[in-house]
Amino acid sequence: MSTRKKDPEQTPGVTRRGFIGSVGAGAVAVAAGKTAAQAGEQPPGPHADGMTPVTLNINGRVHRMLVEPRWTLLYVIRDRLGLTATKAGCERGECGACTVLIDGTPRYACMTLALEAEGQEITTLEGLMNGEELGPTQQAFAEKDGFQCGYCTPGQIMAAEGLLRSNPNPDVHQIQHGMGGNLCRCGAYVNIFKAVDRAAELKKGGGR
C-alpha cells in the first residue's frame, strides 16, 4: 500500500494555487477600481447612460457638458472641472465647507444639483481672485488669521462674501448670524468674525 502523501494542490475543491490566483485577481480588480475612482472619471452607481446636457456659468466662464441628473454641483465643480477650492466636507448640508455663491447668495454645493444651477451665476473661491491677487475677503482672512487647519476656510470666505454683498456694513451680531451655517472644527470663530469685519473695511476702500 502506497504511503505517498497527496499533493495539496491536487486535492479536490479549491486548491492553494487557485485560491492565491483568485485573491490576486480580486486585488487587481479592486486596485483598478480605485484608480478609476481616483481619476474622477465618474461616480459609481446607476444612470451611467442617462446623461443630460447642461450649461454652467462658473466664475464668468461658460462650461457646456453632459451630467447625470443626480450629480451635485459640488461633484461637477471639483471632479469634473477641477476647481478644488470648494471642499467636500459632510456632503449633507451641515458643515458649509462646500459653500459657493449662486447669483450672489451662499449655497451648499453638496445639496444643489448641477442641473438646478443652470442659467445662474456661480462663484467659487477661485472666482474671488484677480489673477494671483487675493480678493478683499480672502485678504482679510489672511490678515486676521481666520483659520487654523484651513479646511473650512474656503466655505467660510464664500459665506462671508455672500453676507457682505447683501449687507456691506454688518454689525457683530449680523456677522455671527450670517456665518452661522459654516462650522469650524478648530474653533477659530473669534478670528473669523474679525476677518469678516475687516473684509467689510477693505471692500469700502475700493475692493470688490
Would you list the DSSP string of 81-147?
T--TTS--SSSSSSS-TTEEEETTEEEEGGGSBGGGGTTSEEE-GGGG-BTTBPPHHHHHHHHTT--
Whether residue 20 is contained in a domain is answered as no
Whether residue 143 is contained in a domain is answered as yes
Q: How confident is the model at residue 208 (pLDDT cuts 50, 70, 90)?
A: low
What is the predicted pLDDT for the residue at 32?
39
Whether residue 104 is contained in a domain is answered as yes
Q: How confident is the model at residue 206 (pLDDT cuts 50, 70, 90)?
A: low
Whether residue 195 is contained in a domain is answered as yes
Whether residue 4 is contained in a domain is answered as no
Asked if residue 126 has pLDDT above 50, the reply is yes
Whether residue 18 is contained in a domain is answered as no
* Count of domains forming the chain: 1
- Mean pLDDT of all residues in the chain? 84
Pairing verdict, β 99-102 and 61-67: unpaired
More confident residue, 85 or 3: 85
Q: What angle do CA 30, 98, 113 make, to 5 degrees?
A: 80
Q: pLDDT tens-digit profile of 21-75?
A: 444 444 434 343 444 444 444 544 444 568 999 999 999 999 999 999 999 999 9
Asked if residue 140 has pLDDT above 80, the reply is yes
What's CA 12's distance to the chain center, in Å? Answer: 52
pTM passes above 0.85: no
What is the predicted pLDDT for the residue at 207?
56
Asked if residue 145 has pLDDT above 80, the reply is yes
What is the predicted pLDDT for the residue at 200?
98
Q: pLDDT tens-digit profile of 5-25?
A: 444 444 444 444 453 444 444
Whether residue 158 is contained in a domain is answered as yes
Q: Could you give the CA distance from residue 203 to residue 197 in angstroms, rounded to a whole number?
A: 10
Q: Could you give the CA distance from residue 21 to residue 1 in angstroms, rounded to a whole number?
A: 34
CATH number at residue 153: 3.10.20.30
Whether residue 32 is contained in a domain is answered as no
Which range of residues forms the domain containing residue 170?
52-204
